[in-house]
Amino acid sequence: MSAATLSFSTKARRTPESPISYFMEKAIGNPNLISLAAGLVDSESLPAGPVARAMAEILNDPKAAKAALQYGTTRGYLPLLEKIAGHIATLDGTTAQAMGISARDVMVTTGSQQLLYMLSELLLDPEDIVIVESPSYFVFHSVLAGTGVRVVSVPMDDDGMKTGELEATLTRLDAAGELHRVKLIYTVDYFQNPTGRTLSVERRRDFMRIVHAFAAKQRILVLEDAAYRELRYEGPELPSLKSLDAGNRHVIYAGTFSKPLSPGMKTGYAIVPNDLVDHLIRLKGNHDFGSNNLSQYVIHHLIANGEYAKHVETLKNVYREKRDTMLNALQAEFADMPEVHWTKPRGGMFVWLTMPTAIPTTPGGAFIENSIREGVLFIPGEFGHVDDRGPVPKTEARISFGDAKIPQILEGIKRLRKAAGAAAP
């Protein structure tokens, strides 16, 4: 009927296809597949009982039911916003007031992903500069690609982003007359996706010192993606960058109930500097004028009745055991391959594996093909990197203990070892 093909927007044409779909499809035929690739949460511990009870209580109360099933506001359910401000302050060992935040600075989003997207839309024009850790969360890379910005990476080590390198990078950009284009620094500072690494206390203080020092010349915002923060299995609670941001000026703190409660309710939130929050809410008005209201009521209910806190404690035990299983299995299976090493995350759900140069993790390579044949899936590490500092590492992999059950983790690591053995030259 029509010969004309569709033409897409400049932005759409900049947005790459998900790098994951290629081998997800390759793997789909294998019913015995063990996926250490997906970012799913542990299915067995999902809070069906508490959610069912909260739903019943809300829906059997005529007034609450009417409000929860009706449109909410774009910003989110006010009592939930208040709980969130208090909750994050408590994690930081202080009060919302002392942190300089209130419900007025909080907004609800459809998972924290929506915050990442909207913030990019609100701030970024092509040729702007965004600073990320290397490696970083690959879905955010895809969002950034859509905006046409220049992504500048800062190396990490086991203490998270190297703040010395961050400072050097900003100084270099300043010298090049490009500081005014630097709009955002993105960090997943707790149990990072993909590496499992956490920004140390010293680095946190240094990070904010740097941001504050450059603020006289350029107000650089920090997107602190704290999605995994509450899944902490050992070590002390660390102060958020937000808590070190006196005056609530620089840090957008992105949190979510997907990891510590249930991704099926897809409810995230952000704590946002005062002069930014209304702009984000206006943009959200155009996106959807508010996330799922019923889920916001349920989550508020679960925080208020203490079930949320209880659930997080349960989850920590569940994931700690799975993490230990994975780390022990790696230790056992790869004992004879000392060139293989991996991170030891103190929380979250990801371990970052580095293979020897001879066993690249590249899509299409022998290791990944063998893995798929053996029935185990990982995420090639290169998807987490950008190439602003030269060729990206080709020997890394993200493996997750999120959804795999303990016997699957054990078997999955066995299969990885087999695949690696067969791939070794």
Q: Which residues ranging from 180 to 199 are in contact with its own copies (CB under 8 A)?
A: 183
For residue 263, what are the CA distances in angstroms to 70, 195, 400, 424? 22, 21, 16, 38
E runs forming strands in 7-62: 34-35
Window 197-216: residues binding its own copies (CB under 8 A)? 212, 215-216
Please give the Cα distance from 407 to 389 (Å, whole number): 40
Site for its own copies in 144-183 (CB under 8 A): 146-147, 183
Per DSSP, the residues of 215-227 read: TTT---EEEEE-T
The one segment of 59-67, 81-89, 90-98, 199-207 that binds its own copies by CB under 8 A: 59-67
The dihedrals phi and psi of 126, each to the nearest 5 degrees, come to -55, 145
Draw the binding track, 307-336, toward its own copies (x: CB under 8 A; -: no contact): ------------------------------
Residue selected from 14, 15, 239, 369 as contacting its own copies according to rule CB under 8 A: 15
Element housing 192 (H / E): none
Strand partners, 253: 224, 271
Single-letter residue type at 298: V
**Choice between 73 and 102, CB closer to its own copies:** 73
Strand order in the sheet with 350-354: 341-342, 350-354, 396-400, 379-380
* Site pattern 213..252 for its own copies (x: CB under 8 A): --xxxxx-x------------------------xx-xx--
| Residue 25 binds its own copies (CB under 8 A) | no
Find out whether 205 and 359 touch, Cβ atoms under 8 Å: no
In this structure, are residues 110 and 263 in contact, taking their beta carbons and an 8 Å threshold? no
Q: How many chain residues are in contact with its own copies, going by CB under 8 A?
A: 90
Go through the chain and tell me how many residues it has.
425
Binding residues among 271-310 for its own copies as defined by CB under 8 A: 275-276, 279, 282-283, 285-295, 297
Q: How far is the CB of 223 from its own copies (least distance, A)?
A: 14
- 37 touching its own copies, by CB under 8 A: no
x/- track of binding to its own copies for residues 82-111 (CB under 8 A): ----------------------------xx
Residues 351-410 touching its own copies, rule: CB under 8 A, are 403
